[in-house]
Structure 1
Amino acid sequence: MTTLEKAKLWLAESFDQETRSAVEMLINSASPDLEDSFYRELEFGTGGMRGIMGVGTNRLNKYTLGQATQGLANYLHGQFPSDKIKVAIAYDVRNNSKEFGKLVADVLTANGIHVLLFKEHRPTPELSFTVRDKSCHAGIVLTASHNPPEYNGYKVYWNDGAQIVPPHDEAIIREVYSVEFSEIKFEGNDALIEWLDESQDQAYIEACISNSTYQNVGYEDLNIVFTSIHGTTYTTVPQALKQAGFKKIDLVREQMIPSGNFPTVESPNPEEPAALEMAMDLARITNADIVIGTDPDGDRLGIAVRNLEGEMQLLNGNQCNTILTHYILEQWKKSGRITGTEFIGSTIVTSDIFFDIAQKFGVDCKVGLTGFKWIGKMIRDYEGIEKFVCGGEESFGFMTGDFVRDKDSCGSILLACEIAAWCKAQGKTMYEYLIEIYTSTGLYYEGLINVVRKGREGAEQIQQMMHDFRANPPRELAGSPIEEIKDFKEQTCQVLSTDSVSVMDDIPKSNVLIYYTVDGTKVCIRPSGTEPKIKFYVSVKETLANKEEFKAKLQLLEAKIDQVKADLNL
């Protein structure tokens, strides 16, 4: 079926007049947006269904959301035929999120499903917490994370509070795609809605404090700057910090105003230094020890601390998680909680330093595919067998304990501030604590290269790039020969020195390729599951004997990453 033929199907009477008029306008104007709006159906990636808002099968709108929710409702009835099914729904600050939240609730209640719906926008991790706290069968959050303002999204959680994974995700997708738009039940029943308010915030905040703090050392002396970057965490993080005992909290007031247009930043992504620029400016005035920002749905966090020159420096996701993980394990070891049956969670694109940290403290490090849903699956798979301590991935996500089963900025912020306060009480910074960790594990440094390719043509270019890297891998990177190639699509591990190939079937298939060199350099290549880009994760390492040689070794690693980029023609 051609794109035009697909578009004309949306002129049928089963679509409302507003939708039909918008489609007619696209067709009659011969807009290039017509192709991108209808050439495919939105897919569930590592973060669920995410896309630009508008009409069409490749857009997020009343009908694609309705189809997804009708399919989910059908699946839930099949899985829990005799239960009173409950689903929790949250939504972030994005344009249309509140309306989408009510639309999704209406489809569920029209199918006889009870809904717990937040009255106002709330962070994604609070939704994950609520699913378990309220004994729900599933959860839904309307969010596009840190994507640009024109995006929105839809993530589904199962009854364990984690995002859906096999076999549920694939089964739900089959149900979704079997639903005709004319079959969607939009006429909701408000009698089946229970509204959630600030009392649920308090339950979540108390859980964050009890699961993410270990010792109260120097809380009153720590100077904190926090920004929600117009997102949802204005409802939870300042309150959590105050209740935990932190006194000196300065907020970036202009950015504490929720807005789906994110008016003060180009991108609401705490991974980007520009997103924290206003917070950094405030930190200079207040002489802050730590700067923290969160993304719109409140699951990711960015942390800046004072470096060796006393200037605020944004840590990358691996550095943040290194500090948090090492500190937690130190506290567990000090209190005698490590018995040899504990584990931390990581992902294949995250730094290998977490294997070294796990070995140092006598715990296991389990690795899954990209996305926190796989860490959530680890917790469920090993529940009652091994104890989950904490987990993180390089994309500025971390969680402490299993009370939330997705990355959680609130608990992570409480932990980070405790570490900063503890460090300050000892006369050092978090940055110096990180360097101390490196002297025991080796100095790891990472770089991320994003190559953006938009639209249908861009998607084809990304697939061709993946094909080419598989068919013609480089022989060496930054002067070090390629020793091992892991192909998670083919589930093979090839060791070049022995010309041997083994099967990797412990991790599900995924379109990911990893090169390892003789000197420990690691390059992971994968198309993004939520954005029109292909990502290159580069990790390099060096030995580090002491703090004094840190700067020189870091410069060597930065130069090595530049050379890897050149070798990959990026």
Structure 2
Amino acid sequence: MDNAIQQKVDQWLQGNYDEDTKNEIKKLQSENTNELADSFYQNLEFGTGGLRGIMGVGTNRMNKYTIGMATQGYANYLKQSFADSDVKVAIAHDSRNNSRFFAETTANVFAANGIKVFLFESLRPTPELSFAIRTLGCQGGVVCTASHNPKEYNGYKAYWNDGGQLVPPHDKNVIKEVEKIQSVDDVKWSGGESNITIIGKDIDEQYIDMVKGLSVYPEVIEKHSDLKIVYTPIHGTGITLVPQVLERFGFKNVHIVEEQKTPDGNFPTVAYPNPEEKETMSIGLNKAKELDADILLGTDPDADRVGIGIKNNKGEWVLMNGNQTAVLAFNYLLEARKEKGIAEDNDMIITTIVTTGMVDDLAKGNGVTCYRVLTGFKWIAEMIRLKEGKENYVIGGEESFGLMIGDKIRDKDAVSAVALLCEMAAYEKDKGKTLFDKLIELYIKYGFYKEDLISITKKEWMDSNKSLP
């Protein structure tokens, strides 16, 4: 084994690490030296969004120690940045294996550094974390999730006081502070438990009320409250809020896919818990066909992405891609707000550079400004912050199956997106049309855009003859 890797292994075997960790390292030494090398050949990088990686022992894995060191660095930067304030953070997690443990580890380290922590009582959607940061007046936050990655992965996403993920200069500055933490002995692991407050139902209610306030046509929902909806949380956090939100909107005919209802970090019914994949949505599609539903919706494990299935004009079920979903959602809010008389002269929408140009055509056709930013919702959130008080943000989104409706949260939100998409279906049904009919109508008006999604999974590999790139 490479000498530098061996030195790291020896540090963990001789250092202040728990016995289970050391025993796992010894097991890898005797049974799988390639896996051991991959686990230690580098330090898991804290990037501009945080951490994401395979769970396991070692410096290149998601575990208590890599998360603790990252949190210590982030805590140091928060205390530097808000030296004149009592620093507060909010913490949430998804349904993945070890997510609760990672969230509690993060909470304990923040608390031991004298930071006030608001920790959700159990799994919650990522967008609710963004909402909680803003609602509770926090300076930062963390959600433990690997979004739609395979079950072996977990992650750690860091947020700033606006409820958005880290942007310059804070992203690079946090990375510098994290890189200064060279040992687990630099981490304050415990001693501040009194700084932790458990949150849950109160924030849920405030969040649900906020989402309900996004509805443009509640009277149309009342008229079509029997809209037949099939929803799958794909073993994730969506189950905690999506059914409640749909009920609060007034939908009374919601069918949850039983096989995928229970939160489970092993995601037993799918290869990847990604609503962008047809295979992942296949059980929901079968249910929608069986019930002759009006609409199918699926959310990923942390409920920030949404997939949608509708019937085409031949009665066949088709899955919308992210661009098509965005076009339908953007158009609905622009069209419905104008029709309702609540559109404002300074309305704006925001999308990213990887999203269909049809969004620009929609904006022009409706007389609103469309801003394009770099890929990722943190840049949409940053644009909202820059335009606050000058222009009225309506909706943002991109082709990655993400929508962000209204400015009360600053990250993509599949919970509010599900509700909006169902309201859209009711709105079109009231006019004797389907969402597919509406999409064709928009293509005729603005021009036909066709895209296809190809997902390529590349797993890191290592053998005795070749190092990882």
Q: TM-score, normalised on structure 2?
A: 0.94
Q: Paired residue for 1:362, among 363, 367, 383?
A: 367
> In 1, Cα distance between the equivalents of 2:119 and 2:241?
17
Task: Say if 2:48 and 2:166, in contact at 8 Å, map to a contact too.
Answer: no
Which position in structure 2 is the counterpart of 1:274?
Answer: 279
Q: Paired residue for 2:424, among 404, 419, 426?
A: 419
> In 1, Cα distance between the equivalents of 2:254 and 2:441?
27
Unaligned runs of 5+ in 2: none
> In 1, Cα distance between the equivalents of 2:21 and 2:216?
50
Map 1:65-80 to 2 at 5 A.
65-80=67-82
Deviation of 1:30 after TM superposition, in Å, equals: 5.1
Task: Say if 1:305 and 1:313, in contact at 8 Å, map to a contact too.
Answer: yes
Task: Say if 1:107 and 1:184, in contact at 8 Å, map to a contact too.
Answer: yes
Task: Say if 2:48 and 2:175, in contact at 8 Å, map to a contact too.
Answer: no
Letter in 1 for 2:249: A
Deviation of 1:457 after TM superposition, in Å, equals: 6.9
Q: Which deviates further from its counterpart, 377-386 or 107-116?
A: 377-386
Map 1:65-464 to 2 at 5 A.
65-181=67-183, 182-217=185-220, 218-455=223-460
1:174-205 per-residue CA deviation (whole Å, 9 max, x = no partner) reads: 00010122201111422111111222111111
> In 1, Cα distance between the equivalents of 2:462 and 2:24?
24
Q: Which deviates further from its counterpart, 262-271 or 313-322?
A: 262-271
> In 2, Cα distance between the equivalents of 1:177 and 1:45?
11
> In 2, Cα distance between the equivalents of 1:240 and 1:339?
26
1:66-86 per-residue CA deviation (whole Å, 9 max, x = no partner) reads: 011000110111011121111
> In 1, Cα distance between the equivalents of 2:225 and 2:215?
17
> In 2, Cα distance between the equivalents of 1:357 and 1:46?
32
> In 2, Cα distance between the equivalents of 1:351 and 1:341?
23
Task: Say if 2:351 and 2:372, in contact at 8 Å, map to a contact too.
Answer: yes
> In 2, Cα distance between the equivalents of 1:445 and 1:46?
32
Q: Does 1:40 align with 2:42?
A: yes
How many equivalent residue pairs?
461
Change (3 A) 1:315 1:35: same
Q: Which deviates further from its counterpart, 323-332 or 190-199?
A: 190-199
> In 1, Cα distance between the equivalents of 2:49 and 2:175?
14
Give the 3-state SS of the residue equivalent to 1:274 in structure 2: coil
Q: TM-score, normalised on structure 1?
A: 0.78
> In 1, Cα distance between the equivalents of 2:118 and 2:47?
25
Task: Say if 2:49 and 2:158, in contact at 8 Å, map to a contact too.
Answer: no
Give the 3-state SS of the residue equivalent to 2:454 in structure 1: strand
Change (3 A) 1:324 1:203: same
Task: Say if 1:213 and 1:414, in contact at 8 Å, map to a contact too.
Answer: no
Unaligned runs of 5+ in 1: 465-570
Which position in structure 2 is the counterpart of 1:567?
Answer: none
> In 2, Cα distance between the equivalents of 1:28 and 1:212?
59
Task: Say if 1:343 and 1:388, in contact at 8 Å, map to a contact too.
Answer: yes
The structure whose RCO (Cα within 8 Å, separation 6+) is larger is 2
> In 1, Cα distance between the equivalents of 2:261 and 2:135?
27
Give the 3-state SS of the residue equivalent to 1:389 in structure 2: strand
> In 2, Cα distance between the equivalents of 1:47 and 1:321?
23
> In 2, Cα distance between the equivalents of 1:342 and 1:84?
36
Deviation of 1:31 after TM superposition, in Å, equals: 1.9
Give the 3-state SS of the residue equivalent to 2:67 in structure 1: helix
> In 1, Cα distance between the equivalents of 2:46 and 2:377?
14
Change (3 A) 1:450 1:305: closer
Which position in structure 1 is the counterpart of 2:20?
Answer: 18
1:181-233 per-residue CA deviation (whole Å, 9 max, x = no partner) reads: 22011114221111112221111111011024434314313110111111111
1:466-519 per-residue CA deviation (whole Å, 9 max, x = no partner) reads: xxxxxxxxxxxxxxxxxxxxxxxxxxxxxxxxxxxxxxxxxxxxxxxxxxxxxx
Letter in 2 for 1:308: N
Deviation of 1:51 after TM superposition, in Å, equals: 0.6
Task: Say if 2:347 and 2:392, in contact at 8 Å, map to a contact too.
Answer: yes
Deviation of 1:9 after TM superposition, in Å, equals: 2.4
Letter in 1 for 2:58: G
